[in-house]
Amino acid sequence: MRQPIVVRLKQRFPRLTAFVAGRFDTTYFIGLPLTLIVFAGLVNMALLSNLTESVIESEWIVTLDKKFTSALFDMRSDRLSQALYTITWLGDQQAVFVIGGVATIAFLLHRHWVSLVAFWLALGGVGLSVRFGKTIISRNRPVADVAYYVAEHFSFPSGHATTAVVLYGMLSYLLYRRLSAFWQRALLVWETIIMIMLVGFSRIYLGVHYLSDVLAGFLLGALWLLVGISIVEVMLYRKIKYNSLHQ
């Protein structure tokens, strides 16, 4: 009687089939969770690549950006502008040093070395990739007439939007792992999403970025957030495995 193809593959390629099966194992992070993160990262890079190509070559997205910026400028109010100007600071480099510094002190006091390493590796990756992207694309910011204040450097991608995703996304994720109640986790996730969205919207409303700049920032930030989460989970997995082998 002929054996099923799965059994034959296991017999002929035991290591390969074991590796593939391990990628769908839900017991450990390096199984199905890591597989899903890698898949999400690939989708993210494809979307970011298409968006970048559209900004460079497609006239329609440039036109959409300008119309959206003009529409927000036409309805701009002083009170909302001042509020969003305060909110936009949450994605600034100063916020990284202040909030990141406080987080670092907390990590050191509680000896959360894994969190400390992953947190700053993700933020460091953001800084380098944003600078690289701005230099390569070299897209000018919206005209000075619509800008609430003068912003330096190029426009694409939005550094504030990228930073907000990683800074608050990583802190939220690390706190999420330590919460047990569903309502606490749900509240934390929604608060983080709203904060990130407000930072991104503030960049467009204040006329210092286009819509596509912010979307690219969200995508790039999400990519580095996945990297940071993966570093934490893989390092913790290896630590647990090491401790179990040396008990």
Residue ranges of the alpha helices (H) in the chain?
5-12, 14-22, 32-57, 59-74, 78-88, 93-109, 113-137, 159-176, 182-205, 211-245
Give the gyration radius of the chain's Cα atoms: 22
- Phi and psi at 235, nearest 5°, equal -65, -40
- Phi and psi at 26, nearest 5°, equal -90, 0
Q: Is residue 118 a contact partner of residue 232, using CB atoms and an 8 Å limit?
A: yes
pTM exceeds 0.85 for this model: yes
Q: Integer distance in angstroms from the first to the last C-alpha of the chain?
A: 47
3-state secondary structure 28-88: CCCCHHHHHHHHHHHHHHHHHHHHHHHHHHCHHHHHHHHHHHHHHHHCCCHHHHHHHHHHH
In one letter, which amino acid is 90? L
Return mean pLDDT, the chain.
87
In this predicted model, what pLDDT tens digit does every residue of 18-51 receive, in sequence order?
A: 566 556 666 777 777 888 888 999 999 999 999 9
Is residue 242 very low, low, confident or very high in pLDDT (cuts 50, 70, 90)? low
In this predicted model, what pLDDT tens digit does every residue of 81-136 receive, in sequence order?
A: 999 999 999 999 899 999 999 999 999 999 999 999 999 999 999 999 999 999 99
The owner of tokens 């082998």 is 245
Torsion angle of C-alpha atoms 141, 44, 221, 77, degrees rounded to 10: 50
Is residue 165 very low, low, confident or very high in pLDDT (cuts 50, 70, 90)? very high
Q: How many residues does the chain have?
A: 247
In this predicted model, what pLDDT tens digit does every residue of 7-27 receive, in sequence order?
A: 655 666 566 665 665 566 667
The owner of tokens 């630590």 is 239
In sequence order, which residues have a C-beta less than 8 Å from that of residue 198 and are 6 or more positions away? Answer: 84, 87, 90
Question: Rounded mean pLDDT of 173-178?
Answer: 93
Q: How confident is the model at residue 2, as a pLDDT?
A: 47
In one letter, which amino acid is 236? L
Q: What is the SS3 assignment for 220?
A: helix
What's the rounded Cα separation, in Å, for the pair 91 and 103? Answer: 15
Q: Report residue 178 CA to chain centroid gap.
A: 20
Question: Rounded mean pLDDT of 145-159?
Answer: 84
Domains of the chain with CATH codes: 68-245 (1.20.144)
